[in-house]
Amino acid sequence: MRISRFIYTALVPAFMAVAFSFTMKGQNADAVISRINAKAATIKTIEADFTQEKDLSILNDKMVSKGKMYYDKGMLRWEYTSPYSYLFIMNGEKVLLQSSTSTTTGDVASNRIYRMIARIMVDTITGKSLDGGGDFSVKMETSSKGNVAVLTPLKREIKSMFKEVRLHFDESDYVSKIELVEGTGDKTVISLSGVKYNAPVSASLFEVK
C-alpha cells in the first residue's frame, strides 16, 4: 500500500506535467495566437525594466545585464544601465547606438538591416511577431506555466544568429520573457518586470540628435 501511495503521489503529478505540456495544433493554436495578436494590437506604449542573462558556456557562467526600455507607437528605446552603459534608440526615422566610448547614428529609411532589426525587436516585445509578418514561423506550446510561442527565423540574417526565439506570455497574454537560442544551445534570456502598458511616455526619450 505504501508503494502504491508513493506511485500515486510522485508519478501522477509527473505524468500530469508531461501530459499538459504539449504543442498546440490547429484550432487551439490559432485561437491562442488570435488572442495574443488582439492583445498586442491594444498596446500603444510600454515602459519596463529588463534583466538580460546571457549564457557564456565557455566560461561556465552567465553575463547579467540590466536596463530599462520604452516603446511608443513603433519607437523603441532600449538602455543598458548595468554593468555597462549602452543605449539603442529607434524612432522611426533615426537609429542611435551609444556606448560609453562612442555614438553612432543612422537613417532607418536608407538601411534595410536597421529596419528589420527594429521591427523584430518591437514585434517580439509586444507579441506582434505572431501575426505572420514573414520574419518567423510560429508554433505554440502550452504548459502549466503558460503559453510559449516558438519562433523559428525565416530570414537568413536572423537565422545566422539564432536558431529559435521563444516568447513567454503571462496569464494576461502579455510577453513576460524572451529567450534567444543560438545554434550552439546557448541562450540569452530577457525578463521584463515593472511593466506599464499604455502609460504616457515622454517623446524626448526617443530623440536622436
Partner 1 sequence: MRLFSLDSFKFFSFAAILSLVVSCSAARPAETATSSLSGRMSWSVSVMRGGSALLTGLCIADVSDIQGGKDMKGTFVNEFGVRAFDFKAERKPSGKTRVKILSPMKALSNPVLRHVLGKDLAKVFSSGELLECAQDEFPYRCSSASGMEYVFSPSAI
Residues lying near partner 1 in the complex (CB under 8 A): 52, 54, 56-59, 63, 65, 80, 83-84, 86, 88, 97, 99-102, 104, 106, 111, 113-114, 117, 156-157, 159-161, 180, 182, 184, 186, 188
Alpha-helix residue ranges (DSSP H) falling in 20-151? 26-41, 112-126
Of residues 37 and 51, the one with the C-beta less far from partner 1: 51
Which residue from 69, 167, 173 is spatially nearest to 124, judged by alpha carbons? 167
Is-contact 50 193, C-beta < 8 A? yes
Of residues 33 and 89, the one with the C-beta less far from partner 1: 89
Of residues 110 and 172, the one with the C-beta less far from partner 1: 110
Q: Beginning with the edge strand found earlier in the chain, give each strand of the sheet holding 94-99 in spatial order.
A: 22-23, 136-143, 146-153, 164-169, 175-181, 187-197, 45-56, 61-72, 75-82, 86-90, 94-99, 103-107
Of residues 24 and 116, the one with the C-beta less far from partner 1: 116
Of residues 57 and 137, the one with the C-beta less far from partner 1: 57
Least Cβ distance, residue 165 to partner 1 (angstroms): 13
Q: Which three cell numbers, joined as nine digits, stand for 10?
A: 510522485
- Dist CA 165 CA 158 (whole Å): 10
Least Cβ distance, residue 139 to partner 1 (angstroms): 23
Least Cβ distance, residue 17 to partner 1 (angstroms): 30
Least Cβ distance, residue 131 to partner 1 (angstroms): 23
Least Cβ distance, residue 112 to partner 1 (angstroms): 9
Of residues 64 and 199, the one with the C-beta less far from partner 1: 64
- DSSP state letters, 44-71: -EEEEEEEEEEEEGGGTEEEEEEEEEEE
Chain CA centroid to CA 94, Å: 23
